Structure 1
Amino acid sequence: MIIFQLAIILLASKIAGDLAARIGQPSVLGKLLIGIILGPAVLGIITSTEIIDELSEIGVILLMFLAGLETDIEEFKRTGKASAYVGVIGIIVPLSLGYATGLFLDMSTFEAIFLGLLLSATSVSISVQALKEMDKLKSREGMTILGAAVIDDVLVIIILAFLMSAAGGEVNLGMLIAKKAGFFVVAILLGWIAVPWLLRRFAPLRVTESVISAGLIICFLYAAMAEYAGVADIIGAYIAGVAISLTDFKHEVFEKVETIGYSVFVPVFFTSIGIAVDFEGLGSYIGVIAALSLLAILTKLLGSAVGAFFAGFDWRSSFGIGSAMVSRGEVALIIAAIGLESGLLAEQLFPVIVIVVLVTTVVTPPMMKAFFKA
């Protein structure tokens, strides 16, 4: 059954991506929408399974690994200030307005703060693909977006830890922050010393594709290490890509991993987002879904755009950067699951949040296209 599902996903995602490109939209939009059509929300041909989910996870890890390989480290350094502005203000605005909205909906103080935190999360895995298609990934805007995503992820998780501690959750704040700081220190040291050493040792091995295997080993180890430290695994994969981009093996690893990723795993990731959607029983929440979706889009768009403008970008580029930060993706879903388990998110609101996350993900590529091509 899984073999048939893979065949359908790959066929449909490629055709849908091509159709989206033909009408002037990023191909990733077609891949997201075809997932909804194939999934239980419409046709029910494909259902979310553990194997599909695991393949999807590999897909997003490889996508962010490729983004790291394409990173211009000098440009990345130059955009550090801009990334900080975008990341921080892009959290303050949705967190504040999300909190106010939660109080308006008669949530408790902690629940309202958690709603604001959910709206503050971002995941640029979808944005990375749109940037690649528009040839913007290596631009100043692209580097700012990637840097802001790292800052956003770290700050949101730290705020979540404080919130759970204050709400009575069993969270050791000192240990949590130490683990995150330790991850970045270890990741940088390994990137400086161990990554080049491992690639040089693997290169002369008399086996096929030894360098590519070494690159993937580094990618997966970094992703696992990040996840253990409480940082999103896609951040670990991205840093692994950056580390390899500083070596002489950058182009060889990129070309082969791009082939591996985009032939199977990345299409499964894009399509699986839509497959996970199920509208059953949400009819009575249409108003809440619409209001929260609008709030999620506008707060992240405006907050991040203002941050970019303060950092020196013109308004067109600022809104392009803001639109790239709108997608909440898997980061928000992970936070929502934590909130559900800890009692900070009501059970009936969980499927609502899933739909809101999907909406932010689907609108991101066309918004980016509109602002960056304006």
Structure 2
Amino acid sequence: MLFPILIVEASIGQILQDFAVIMIVASAMTLAFYKLKQPMVIGFIVAGIVIGPYSPPFSLIHNLEVLNLFAEMGVILLLFTVGMEFPIQKLKEVGRKAIVIASSEAFGTLAIGFIVAQSLGLGFYDSLFVALAISVTSTVIIMRVLGELKMMKDESATLILGTTIIEDILIISLLAIFQSTGASGEFSLNEIIISVGITIGFIAGVLVVGSKIIPKLIDIVARTNQHDVLIVAAVGLAFTLAFVSFQLGISVAAGAFFAGVLVAESRSHAVTSVLANPVKDIFAALFFVSVGALMDFSLIPQFIVPALILIGVSIGAKFMTVYLAARLQKLSNLTSTRAALGCSSSGGEIALVVAKGGIDVGAANPIILPMIGTMTIITTFIAPYVIKYGWKFTQKITKVQNKEDERSSQVQPSSPDETSNKPP
């Protein structure tokens, strides 16, 4: 219903012009950030800030509603492709340790972040969505950094990957619950129970019933060897489940994510993933550019201090919860410290999805979008350095400790007999 209305309000020429401006500026910015060896997501956000209505001297975008539409489509396709990386079998293989750590991190950081946000004077729902946003860890950024360091085979890297997989599912599920309660304006026990029940029922239905039907249908389509038909069917599934979740009053991100999980269960998921990547890249770019454009950075003086405090809280809470949860499960000090450093170093793209999700249902104040955006830019920028130098530091400490252990084992105390035989 939304798109025909937009066509009436904005001419085709304006829409085409806005789309052209977005793509040209985004390509220029991402090229610049590539040359600077910085994450592409920052380039997209900066491109949005440049073309947005809040950046002087004038806006390069004519219609913000079209921008919002691009952002919504970007969320659906971004989360769909994220879900395609997590087949059900992979979720089973991450193990009990990753589940315990992810749950401790997500709920621990959520609780601590909510208390701190409330103490900073944010409203109830603003605090809730901000706390959820700072609980997120960017799987993409962390895995890219670990790959560059050639540490992907390390035990802690496997643990981080499993933890972030489970964390993504928890955050998306909690977003669905918070959006449904926030949209109604009530946070009663009955409302929470109903929201949790609907969300769990939807996820269970998708994973139990959908996993027996959808992958087979995707494979039937794949047998035609018509790649265009396959990608249309896969993207159609993403939008269908996003629509179903929207009708149920939960996050469209949840529907799109679990649509990707179902596609990952098919035998042709590798081909589908390759075909979906260009589509995802385009709309992911649109999403991040749109988020950047919708950020009112003239409000920075109002939120910069709380944002910096919350960054510190996020890093500290994640590090503490991950480290303690890992140590309680008998993992070594080195593995626990590295996992804590990796999980605490960066926010990410889903944090922006969370912030925008709260605003879309009218539960959160629009000021949280530039606040979370600023925090995402800062943590994304520092993440590679935290992981790189943090892991090197832990490696040096471990080597020193090992040398000391070797020396102490080599120096054996003399036996009483040997001592008594020594000349005076």
TM-score of Structure 1 vs Structure 2, range by shorter chain: 0.7 to 0.9
Alignment match, 1:334:
357
Counting only pairs closer than 5 Å after superposition, residues 43-192 of structure 1 correspond to structure 2 as: 43-47=58-62, 49-71=64-86, 72-77=90-95, 79-102=98-121, 111=123, 113-122=124-133, 127-131=138-142, 133-134=144-145, 139-155=158-174, 158=177, 172-192=191-211
Counting only pairs closer than 5 Å after superposition, residues 225-264 of structure 1 correspond to structure 2 as: 225-262=244-281, 264=282
CA-atom RMSD in angstroms: 3.3
Alignment match, 1:304:
318
Query: How far is the alpha carbon of 1:45 from its aligned partner?
Result: 1.4
Alignment match, 2:228:
209
Alignment match, 1:38:
51
CA deviation vs aligned residue, 1:4-29 (integer Å, no higher than 9, x gap): 22222222222312221222211111
Q: Is the 8 A contact 2:79 2:253 kept in 1?
A: yes
Query: How far is the alpha carbon of 1:89 from its aligned partner?
Result: 0.8
Query: How far is the alpha carbon of 1:224 from its aligned partner?
Result: 2.4
Q: Which runs of 5+ in 2 are unaligned?
A: 1-13, 327-334, 390-424
1:238 and 1:222 map into 2 onto residues whose CA distance is 9
2:66 and 2:185 map into 1 onto residues whose CA distance is 37
Secondary structure at the counterpart of residue 133 of structure 2: coil
Q: Which runs of 5+ in 1 are unaligned?
A: none
2:146 and 2:236 map into 1 onto residues whose CA distance is 28
1:251/1:153 Cα in 2 relative to 1: closer, same or farther (>3 Å)?
A: closer
**Do structure 1's residue 9 and structure 2's residue 22 form an aligned pair?**
yes
CA deviation vs aligned residue, 1:56-86 (integer Å, no higher than 9, x gap): 2222222222222223435444522221111
**Do structure 1's residue 321 and structure 2's residue 328 form an aligned pair?**
no
Query: How far is the alpha carbon of 1:93 from its aligned partner?
Result: 0.9
Single out whichever of 134-143 and 53-62 deviates more from structure 2.
134-143
CA deviation vs aligned residue, 1:137-179 (integer Å, no higher than 9, x gap): 9953233223213323434665787799996889744432221
Alignment match, 1:20:
33
**Do structure 1's residue 196 and structure 2's residue 221 form an aligned pair?**
no
Query: How far is the alpha carbon of 1:88 from its aligned partner?
Result: 1.0
TM-score by length of 2: 0.72
Query: How far is the alpha carbon of 1:356 from its aligned partner?
Result: 1.0
Query: How far is the alpha carbon of 1:208 from its aligned partner?
Result: 5.5
Q: Is the 8 A contact 1:227 1:233 kept in 2?
A: yes
Alignment match, 2:406:
none
Aligned length: 353
Q: Is the 8 A contact 1:145 1:325 kept in 2?
A: no
Secondary structure at the counterpart of residue 295 of structure 2: coil
Single out whichever of 251-260 and 194-203 deviates more from structure 2.
194-203
Alignment match, 2:295:
277
Fraction of identical pairs, as percent = 20
Q: Amino acid of the residue matched to residue 117 of structure 2?
A: G
Larger Rg: 2
1:168 and 1:245 map into 2 onto residues whose CA distance is 35
Q: Is the 8 A contact 2:176 2:199 kept in 1?
A: no
Q: Is the 8 A contact 1:64 1:237 kept in 2?
A: yes
Q: Amino acid of the residue matched to residue 273 of structure 2?
A: F
Q: Is the 8 A contact 1:332 1:357 kept in 2?
A: yes
TM-score by length of 1: 0.81
Q: Amino acid of the residue matched to residue 317 of structure 1?
A: A
1:200 and 1:326 map into 2 onto residues whose CA distance is 33
Secondary structure at the counterpart of residue 314 of structure 1: helix
Query: How far is the alpha carbon of 1:227 from its aligned partner?
Result: 3.1
Q: Amino acid of the residue matched to residue 92 of structure 1?
A: A
Single out whichever of 320-329 and 155-164 deviates more from structure 2.
155-164
1:373/1:20 Cα in 2 relative to 1: closer, same or farther (>3 Å)?
A: farther
